[in-house]
Structure 1
Amino acid sequence: MSQKLSPPADSERVTVSFRVPEGVTLLPLEGGYVSDKCTNKYFNSNMQPYEVGANSWVSLPFVRSIEDDLWNVSIAKEGGGRCQWKLRSIFVSFCLSDSVALVKGRKTIPSSYLFDFIGVTSANTYSVGSAQDFKGDLSLETDFFPIVAELSDKETGVRLFGGDTNSYKWSRHFRLNGTKNIFIKPILHLSKSVIVTQSDKLSEFTAEYPDGSRENIPYIFPDYDKLLSMK
C-alpha cells in the first residue's frame, strides 16, 4: 500500500521566510511527517521484526521574493494520502558560502533551527538545544559569528556560532502552537571570526577572539556574551 504524501488543497500551511545575509547559503527546508495509520517494519539484532509509526521526510527549496528580499517556502500541515500524514517538524539549515575566504580548504558545518508541531518534541540530535514553547507567529533574529575550529585530528571546520545551544536561552529549537508564519533574520558578523584550537589533550580548547584575546574554553564553544560585546 502506498505511503506517499498527498497534501489536500485546503490544508493549513506554515510559511517560513528567511532573510539571507551576504556570505550565507540557505539550504532547502526539511519537513518531517508522522502517521498513526501506517507503520514501518524494522528488525532488531536478532532479526525479529517490529513495527513503529511511519515517518516521512520532504525537502523543499526556498524561493526568493523580489519585493521584500526574503526567501520563502510553504509546507502543508496535513500530508494527506492513505497514511493521513501530520507535520511533525521542520528543519531550517544554512552555512557560510563557498565564496567566503574563511571557507577555502575547510569543511563547512551547517547551523540550524528546528521547529516541532503536534505535541511531538524531536530529540536534541541536531545541536539546536532543548525545545522552547511558543504560541503564534514567530520572528527570530540571532547574531552569528564565524568559528574556525582547528582540531587535533588535523581536520579544520568552519561554522556559524549563535551561542552554545546547551544553554536554554540560546536554544534554536521551538515547540510551536498555532504558528502559521516563521520569520528568520540572522545577523552575520563576518569580520568577527573566532579561532578555536584543540590541544594534544583532547579535552582542552583555546579560543582566539576578534580583538586578539585568548582564553581556555569548555569544549568547542567560545564565550557568546563576549562576542556580543564586540559586534
Structure 2
Amino acid sequence: MQMDLSPANGDDVRQIRIALDGGTKCRWRLSGIRVGIQLARTSALAKGKDITPANYVFDFDDEGYSNAFGKGKPTPVSGNLFFKTEFFPMEYVYRSISEIDLDLFAGDEKFNKWNRYYKVTNSRVIKIEPILYLNKVVRLQTLGSSPGKVFATYPDGSSENISGRVPDYDKLLRMKR
C-alpha cells in the first residue's frame, strides 16, 4: 500500500504514523516498509527523465523485505532512529536507446557504510533527513558497445571511466560545497 506523507508544516517536516500491530481479530503485524525519496517529476532537473527513488527499507520481522527493495544484508538497528543522508542527483545516459535515468545517489548500497536496508527492533520513531545537493549532478554515460563500461563526469568537471553505475561517492562528498 502506498501512503503519502503529511503536507510540510512550517519547518518543512513531513511525517506519517504507521501502526506496527493491528491488534484486530486477524492479529496482523507490519512486516516492513519502504520509504522512497525522489525528485518531483515537475522539477526542471527531472523533466524528460525516468526517475528512480532512493529507498530506505525497514524490516520488522523475519520475513525479509530484501527481495523487493533491500540490497545486501539488513543492518540490525533498535531504539529511536535518525538517518541523515547526503544525496547527489545522478543522470545515467543510455546513448544506444536515447534515454536518461535520474537517481538520487548516496554511495554503493552493497557496502555497509552506505546501506539503507535495516532490520528494526524496539523502535518507535524513525526520522529520515535527506540532504540534496541539486546543483551537484554527476552524469554517467555508457561507452559505446562496451557492456559495463561507463564514463562519469563529476560536478567539478573532472571525469573518469568506471565499471557499472557507481561513481566515487567520497569524491562527490568533497565537492558538496
1:92-126 alpha-carbon deviations (Å, 9 max, x no partner): 01211233322121111111100011344322542
Equivalenced residue count is 174
Distance change (3 Å), C-alpha of 1:127 and 1:217:
farther
TM-score (norm 1): 0.70
Structure 2: gaps spanning 5 or more residues: none
The residue that corresponds to 1:88 in the other structure is: 31
Distance change (3 Å), C-alpha of 1:166 and 1:202:
same
Report if the CA contact (8 A) 1:207-1:216 is conserved. Answer: yes
The residue that corresponds to 2:166 in the other structure is: 221
Partner-residue secondary structure (3-state), 1:227: helix
Structure 1: gaps spanning 5 or more residues: 1-57
Question: Are 2:162 and 1:195 equivalent residues in the alignment?
Answer: no
Q: Percent identity?
A: 37
Range 138-147 or range 117-126, more displaced: 117-126
Partner-residue secondary structure (3-state), 2:45: helix
Report if the CA contact (8 A) 2:34-2:69 is conserved. Answer: no
1:174-200 alpha-carbon deviations (Å, 9 max, x no partner): 111100001100010001001100122
Report if the CA contact (8 A) 2:70-2:117 is conserved. Answer: no
Structure number with the higher strand fraction is 1
The residue that corresponds to 2:78 in the other structure is: 135
Report if the CA contact (8 A) 1:108-1:158 is conserved. Answer: yes
Provide the C-alpha distance between the structure 1 equivalents of 2:72 and 2:137, rounded to a whole number of angstroms.
22
When Rg is computed on C-alpha atoms for both structures, the one with the higher figure is 1
Provide the C-alpha distance between the structure 1 equivalents of 2:122 and 2:66, rounded to a whole number of angstroms.
21
Report if the CA contact (8 A) 1:113-1:128 is conserved. Answer: no
1:205-231 alpha-carbon deviations (Å, 9 max, x no partner): 110000111111121110001101111
- Letter of the 2:152 partner, please give it: A
Superposed CA RMSD in Å reads 1.7
The residue that corresponds to 1:16 in the other structure is: none
- Within the candidate set 209, 228, 231, 2:154 is matched to 209
Runs of at least 4 residues off by over 4 Å: none
